[in-house]
Structure 1
């Protein structure tokens, strides 16, 4: 027996790997270690763990052998604890420096990840575990500066400190660690704070280590411009420096790292071309360079890497054609994402022969031509996205019969003709919207039993189809057939359709004459039936049938009454975020309860016949971003409780019968972009400022057609900060989050565009989308008096200014010549005096000018735009003279009248001269010449965006 014990001791001593598990041998735990563990456990609250069903510390009992406790491993000779794994244990509390954990001096492995040690620092005592080889404190809410003593952990092989966002690294600390820990193979520092480390020191620091195999610096807040640096990590296999979005410069060159398998340098604002050295990394299996500013083309040599399985280059500015010849080399490629770039030309046919491809995303480029009709290599393809390109021709039938296809997105292209039969029975998502597809909806669609999304909207489909067929798709969550004007749906009487999972239904603009749903749709949260021919009453069963609605759009129909108790019961839709009943014939009182909703973000009731007063009980929980009640018969006063809606961006109460003073308390709304109060019965002087920075986000200010008096509100103009800076073209939107009822953590964003009726350049039109460059001020048709303030000249983003039909006096400010984006200027029907400032001839985009019916004198300025304006722009100013441009070829008395102020004879001369000019212009046009065109914003936007903007967008901008 003694011989056997001696042999066992020697065996364990020389083969320590056998001693690492206490479960193999029944040796007692060292008493001090057992006591230290129990005290450590008692110093924390142990709550619920989302990671493991059973907590390891539940087995920790006083009087039992700690070597048998879950998460604890002992040395079988000494009985000391050498391995402690309490990852994701639900420990909550502060980690004190005097913690008994630091008594376990023999620890070799320590895992305390995914606990919550709030307000705890990475204490220097962690660095006292001299034997530690593996340390994992990831996502444990540690904070403060990493102590320099971490370099004492010279035996470290693995260090995980990920997702401790307030854990701070200093350059010298990291340098010492990499110098001393010569066996360090894994270093996970992602989502810690390395912002104090100079970006160009990173290469020097990393070159200190010869042992690193895995390095993760994802989102470590590195910033500054990275010079082209050589990172030499001889043993590195996995490198992640992604999403350091303040890191600029070019991609670092990985000079001697030939064993690299995985590289992720995405989201770092890197620029320049993809360097050729990537082609030397023959072991590379995954390369992600997405979300940068890379340009140029894809190096064809990059597509020859024999082991590449994962290639993500999306969201860059890469251009040119996708290399065709090199693609056949990528026989192991599984995921390819080239989306959101500038690639042009046709889709390479060789791409469709890759046998292992599982995901292919070439969306949001400029690819053109037909989709290749041979898909012999796509037998494993699961996800294909070619949307938002310029593809034309038909959808290949072979594409619609791929056996493994789950997601097919071909939306927003130029695809034509019929949709052929579909036999890809694994399809869950089919999106063919925004094309020019014609003919019938193939009946084979109703055999796709797994379909969850079907979007055929914005095509030219012509079919008469029984709506009941769609209920065959038992798992359908999203159905959109909108904007197919030749498509007709029929409905069986007294049939309750079964849509158990349907959450989004969009049947707008298809000439519907009756409601498509009469039964319960328990999970429906988005319903759009706008722009149809629905009439009569809004059904009073609507709230009961669809009590989970988030998005309800019934606008542009012929409804005339909120039936029954709908006025109040609609407020029982407790999750409703958007309600749009605009452009109907509704005659009712606006339900007061709508103002009390804590979810409603958009309320659009414009162009109806609502009467009574405005809702007056807005609460501090108001979430409204858009309130549009334009064009009704509302009266009374503005409710001051509206100022509680601090998220309000769009407020249009125009064309009602509201009688009140200017609601100066609205100036506290810091996000308000649009304020329209025109054509009401508002009166009085606009008061002085109530706060230091009023209306900082305002871009549309229209209070025209009221009875305001006194001076123009000069103090406001000085503070209109958003009108001072020209921005890039975007549209005003409200993003309504529609949750997936079956998966509460998931959902989709439904984008809603604000719309409004505006008077521009003398004409009324509807903006179905409001661009943020549409910056206007309209104070016309009031009783304002006094001078025009010079402060208008600071509002450089203005494209429209209307001060007409007031009692303004004095000269036109020269500072208006600074409004270089101005497209229309109307100062007519005032009492303005002096000359027209020559500075106005600098307004190169001015299309409409009306200075008529004032007391202006002197010569009309000449310039590229001024030479195009007609006499109507100046008539009624007897003191003006000059050469306005007459639209029609005639000799009339208007030029003579304009010239009167400079002398009657001169006026006759001007008239005759204009006759000759017109005659000459007429002759030039007959013989093929063209008059010089004005530069308009439409021309400017088209130049800025190429030819990608359609006619509707141009109408919106005009």
Structure 2
């Protein structure tokens, strides 16, 4: 016994040291610390990056530069984002998500020296289009790889398929900056047999979904990946599948199981929005009792909503918008846990009475029934929706007054009741966190509520096309966050508040079609963001405010239909982004001088009609219309002026009609200078504006000839030169204008034959009336030749040819005799007139007569 005690006493210090050392973590080795520090110095810190970022699953994460804590004087296992094995001291995890890193990620990066890594998260950084290195495939122990939202580009290397232990793979890029080589996507799914979570977003896969999917898969997200083909039912029968997102792959066709789904016991999220799932929602969906999120947005679904869907008692988010679903909208609140419901843009009808019968609405945060055929009033006795934040009921047939419970919602954030038939006043709002309020296109009346003008976060206020009255209070300038302000088409009176120009975040300012008066004294501050200003259709007076020169982003300026009294505001040339300028129906006067200095390079529509402009047409202005010199029809793309989230309507005068367009295409190129007092010739340089679709120079004092260069306007749809003093013939080259739908040359002094063929064969008499010298169809006056003259038949071609030859000689002699007599008489009259000093009008008439005689003689001689 004493011997045993002696041995224990001798070994006690060693055992204590062994026990103590095993309880301490091993320090990081020098080579690992050096590799990490080298990796750190390869990147800069982008301090301008957002302070919060989002994980691929939507989780919000605080962003901060983790590598700033890396210092060689401390153990690297204590560095932020670095995790080590407690027994070996080897670095096994590198988590640098949201670290504000910026710079190139090189293929020979020192991070590849950390061969024991099991988890790598480099998401939410900026690696500036770096390629994904094949060396990632050398991490044989890797179970977790996240490269999302870090600006990687190029091919996903096939070496990723060597990571046989990988359980989590996430790659998300800028749209289609990352892609697979053919068959590599299938190779990865075949080799990564332990994969549980796969997130590939905006990756160009361009493939079908292989059959060899891992049975371990719990999450499969492949949205925006250009998948195609048919999605077989096998995917829906993966026994462990909890979340499936194949959304926004329009070439992918989905066939739902018609009976029970094998995955029904585990499936929590299903998002197939934007895929082709034509047909009805099958009854089999009733088996997905664990489902919490179901998104079938824009899937071409039809029919009624099946009653089996009510079995989804755990559903929280349901989106069936943008389909062809029909039937009454009822019983939708049987879902006891539903927080978000969207049925936007379907064919659903009925009324909203069921809202008043349900008492378990407290969980609702989001409702969108817009763009359906709902009728009747909104029930007034609804309660329990105190948590509702988003309410969208626009574009239905709802009527009567807006119930007070909507204005009383304390958490209301967005409200859109536009395009209905609501009447009555807009009540005061209880919510103080309103973000969007849109009540346009109703029959609402009364003043603008004061509580609307005291919102601290309101960015869009749209009340247009109602019957609102009263003044625009200056307190509207308290809305410092406002980006869209549309009060157009109401009965508002008074003046425009001076302080509006101080709203530095404002993009859209629309007060059109009211009864506003006074001068535009608003001072638009330097640095403003305005893109659209519409003050048209009021009673505004005075001059155009020169502070508009500070609106350097302005694309649309409409001051038409007012009583402005000014000369042409040539300083607008400083607005390099201006695309639409409309000053029509005012009292502008004077000539547009020095027009060669105007740099309106982006102008698509210029309407100066119905004013008092004088002088020659502004040739220099036309020279600088660079955007009009491009035929946008050839580009194949559809772009809109001021194309932002708000669609501003605009009156376009074309083809003799005033058309109100919700959005204006950049290819709608229009020049309207009609109803002024412009003089001189039509400049031939207009022929260079090959993108022009409407040209209206009518009701001026223009002279000279129609330029032959107009035949270059290949997309011209409407040409109006009526009510001028234009002389000469209609150029025959204009017959090549195949897009021309409307032509008005009436009330000029045109002569000669009307061109034939193509569009000219479709124009009616009204296009030419008031030109006594014009001949040919559709006018009753014959243009000469054999048109309209019955031809005698002959037995054979030889006799016909001889007869034609004889008649030609006879007619030729007759013509010469007639023209000769006419010429002698005409010259005699001229001599008498000159010697006796006949009136000047008679002189002009005689010269014109002589010109016509000589012209016809030359043409007839040339023809024979």
Q: Deviations over 1:687-707 (max 9, x none)?
A: xxxxxxx2323xxxxxxxxxx
- Matched residue SS, 2:115: coil
| Residue in 2 that maps onto 1:874 | 779
Do 1:97 and 1:123's aligned partners in 2 also have CA atoms closer than 8 Å? Answer: yes
| Residue in 1 that maps onto 2:234 | 254
Instruction: Report matched runs for 1:427-826 at 5 Å.
Output: 427-428=411-412, 429-439=414-424, 446-447=429-430, 453-461=436-444, 470-471=449-450, 473=451, 476=452, 500-501=456-457, 503-506=459-462, 508=464, 509-510=466-467, 512-517=469-474, 521-523=478-480, 525=482, 526-532=484-490, 538=496, 540=498, 543=501, 549-559=506-516, 561-562=518-519, 566=521, 569-571=523-525, 574-617=528-571, 622-632=576-586, 633-637=588-592, 644=599, 646-656=601-611, 657=613, 659-663=615-619, 666=622, 671=627, 694-697=629-632, 734-735=642-643, 749-758=645-654, 760=656, 765=658, 767=660, 775-778=693-696, 782-783=702-703, 785=705, 795=715, 799-802=717-720, 806-807=726-727, 809=729, 819=739, 822=741
Do 1:353 and 1:378's aligned partners in 2 also have CA atoms closer than 8 Å? Answer: no
Q: Give me the whole-angstrom Cα distance separating, in 2, the residues matched to 1:204 and 1:122.
A: 17
| Residue in 1 that maps onto 2:843 | none
Instruction: Report matched runs for 1:1-40 at 5 Å.
Output: 25-40=24-39
Residue in structure 1 matching 2:767, options 837, 850, 870: 850
Residue in structure 2 matching 1:237, options 218, 221, 232: 218
- CA shift at 1:391, angstroms? 1.0
2:378 equivalent to 1:395:
yes
Distance 1:6 1:624, change over 3 A: farther
Q: Deviations over 1:640-673 (max 9, x none)?
A: 688645544332233441534554665665655x
- CA shift at 1:630, angstroms? 2.1
Do 2:596 and 2:624's aligned partners in 1 also have CA atoms closer than 8 Å? Answer: no
| Residue in 2 that maps onto 1:81 | 91
Distance 1:288 1:76, change over 3 A: closer
- CA shift at 1:627, angstroms? 1.8
- CA shift at 1:145, angstroms? 4.5
| Length-normalised TM-score, structure 2 | 0.71
Do 2:340 and 2:364's aligned partners in 1 also have CA atoms closer than 8 Å? Answer: yes
- CA shift at 1:194, angstroms? 1.7
Q: Give me the whole-angstrom Cα distance separating, in 1, the residues matched to 2:709 and 2:46.
A: 65
Do 1:430 and 1:453's aligned partners in 2 also have CA atoms closer than 8 Å? Answer: yes
| Length-normalised TM-score, structure 1 | 0.65
- CA shift at 1:66, angstroms? 3.4
Distance 1:792 1:647, change over 3 A: closer
- CA shift at 1:838, angstroms? 7.0
Q: Give me the whole-angstrom Cα distance separating, in 2, the residues matched to 1:302 and 1:34.
A: 54
Instruction: Report matched runs for 1:169-318 at 5 Å.
Output: 193-194=178-179, 196-197=181-182, 202=185, 206-223=189-206, 230=211, 232-244=213-225, 246-255=226-235, 257-270=238-251, 274-276=255-257, 280=261, 281-282=263-264, 283-318=266-301
Distance 1:217 1:671, change over 3 A: farther
- CA shift at 1:220, angstroms? 0.9
Do 2:185 and 2:205's aligned partners in 1 also have CA atoms closer than 8 Å? Answer: no
- CA shift at 1:354, angstroms? 1.5
- CA shift at 1:414, angstroms? 0.9
Residue in structure 2 matching 1:384, options 353, 357, 367: 367
- CA shift at 1:596, angstroms? 4.4
In structure 2, runs of 5+ residues without a counterpart are: 1-7, 52-60, 669-692, 790-864
- Matched residue SS, 1:416: strand
Distance 1:881 1:664, change over 3 A: farther
Q: Give me the whole-angstrom Cα distance separating, in 1, the residues matched to 2:496 and 2:94.
A: 65
Q: Give me the whole-angstrom Cα distance separating, in 1, the residues matched to 2:760 and 2:595.
A: 44
| Residue in 2 that maps onto 1:321 | 304
- CA shift at 1:157, angstroms? 3.8
Instruction: Report matched runs for 1:6-155 at 5 Å.
Output: 25-46=24-45, 48=47, 50=51, 56-96=66-106, 99-118=109-128, 120-147=130-157, 149-151=159-161, 153-155=163-165
| Residue in 2 that maps onto 1:910 | none
Q: Give me the whole-angstrom Cα distance separating, in 2, the residues matched to 1:228 and 1:133.
A: 23
Q: Give me the whole-angstrom Cα distance separating, in 1, the residues matched to 2:621 and 2:167.
A: 63
Q: Give me the whole-angstrom Cα distance separating, in 2, the residues matched to 1:90 and 1:452.
A: 30
| Residue in 1 that maps onto 2:388 | 405
- Matched residue SS, 1:353: coil
- Matched residue SS, 2:294: strand
- CA shift at 1:776, angstroms? 3.6
| Residue in 2 that maps onto 1:333 | 315
Do 1:800 and 1:822's aligned partners in 2 also have CA atoms closer than 8 Å? Answer: yes
2:336 equivalent to 1:351:
no
Q: Give me the whole-angstrom Cα distance separating, in 1, the residues matched to 2:529 and 2:713.
A: 46
Q: Give me the whole-angstrom Cα distance separating, in 2, the residues matched to 1:279 and 1:326.
A: 12
Do 1:108 and 1:131's aligned partners in 2 also have CA atoms closer than 8 Å? Answer: yes
- Matched residue SS, 1:422: helix
Do 1:336 and 1:359's aligned partners in 2 also have CA atoms closer than 8 Å? Answer: yes
- Matched residue SS, 1:651: strand
In structure 1, runs of 5+ residues without a counterpart are: 13-18, 166-189, 478-497, 673-693, 698-719, 737-748, 861-872, 883-958
- CA shift at 1:597, angstroms? 2.8
Distance 1:58 1:575, change over 3 A: closer
Do 1:836 and 1:856's aligned partners in 2 also have CA atoms closer than 8 Å? Answer: no
- Matched residue SS, 2:590: strand
Q: Give me the whole-angstrom Cα distance separating, in 2, the residues matched to 1:379 and 1:119.
A: 47
CA RMSD of aligned residues (A): 4.5
Q: Give me the whole-angstrom Cα distance separating, in 2, the residues matched to 1:800 and 1:666.
A: 18
Q: Give me the whole-angstrom Cα distance separating, in 2, the residues matched to 1:532 and 1:788.
A: 47
Do 1:380 and 1:404's aligned partners in 2 also have CA atoms closer than 8 Å? Answer: yes
Out of 327-336 and 148-157, give the one that drifted further: 148-157
- CA shift at 1:603, angstroms? 1.7
- Matched residue SS, 2:193: coil
- Matched residue SS, 2:33: helix
- Matched residue SS, 1:326: helix
Q: Give me the whole-angstrom Cα distance separating, in 2, the residues matched to 1:394 and 1:624.
A: 44
- Matched residue SS, 1:276: coil
Do 1:825 and 1:848's aligned partners in 2 also have CA atoms closer than 8 Å? Answer: no
Do 1:790 and 1:815's aligned partners in 2 also have CA atoms closer than 8 Å? Answer: no
- Matched residue SS, 2:198: strand
Out of 263-272 and 822-831, give the one that drifted further: 822-831
Q: Give me the whole-angstrom Cα distance separating, in 1, the residues matched to 2:128 and 2:661.
A: 50
- CA shift at 1:278, angstroms? 8.8
Q: Give me the whole-angstrom Cα distance separating, in 2, the residues matched to 1:89 and 1:344.
A: 49
- CA shift at 1:379, angstroms? 4.2
Distance 1:394 1:304, change over 3 A: farther
